[in-house]
Amino acid sequence: MIMFYISFGCSYINSSASFRIPWGLQMVPAGALLVGCVFIPRSPRWLARKGRWEEAEDVLALLHGGNDKEHPYVKQEMEEIRNMVECEKQNADATVWELFKPPILHRTHIGVSTQIWSQLTGMNVMMYYITVSASSCFGGERVN
């Protein structure tokens, strides 16, 4: 919503800055996210898949147990992770091509169709051009 209003305000600028400013402003949170990702601890599930169980438990304790490895939630989550990793090891021979076999094909079709039709509704296009239309509705000059 904030970017909508920024784009709406910039639609009154009669130069290429009308789209460059919103694009530039969108880079600020993206840059903050990029820098912040350096400080995020690794996922406990990823660590467990790599066999780094102690580190996985440390991260879970840090995130959910107040650094207490004996916290009930930490114990429960570690047990779920162990079960998940064991299940993945047992099904390691599964491939992407199984998504296109009869038992799963119907679900794959639903997921792909949902994505395709959500794009074909035109919402992305409407949100892109809505500021130009809105500014012309409120008496502003249309920016080309």
Torsion sign, CA atoms 94, 95, 101, 103: positive
Name the pTM for this structure.
0.53
**Domain boundaries defined on the chain:** 1-40+96-144, 41-93
Write down how long the chain is.
Answer: 144
Tell me, what amino acid is at 71? H
Q: What is the pLDDT of residue 141?
A: 53
Which amino acid is located at 57 in the chain? Answer: E
- Residue 131 pLDDT: 61
pLDDT in tens, the chain (144 residues): 888 888 888 888 888 888 899 889 989 999 999 999 999 888 999 999 999 999 999 999 998 888 899 999 999 999 999 999 999 999 888 888 989 999 899 999 999 999 999 888 887 777 767 665 555 555 555 545
Structure tokens given for 90: 């047992």
Q: Specify whether the CB–CB gap between 132 and 11 falls below 8 A.
A: yes
* pLDDT in the model for residue 61: 94
Q: Where are the beta strands (DSSP E) in 1-144?
A: none
Main-chain phi, psi angles of 69, to 5 degrees: -70, -15
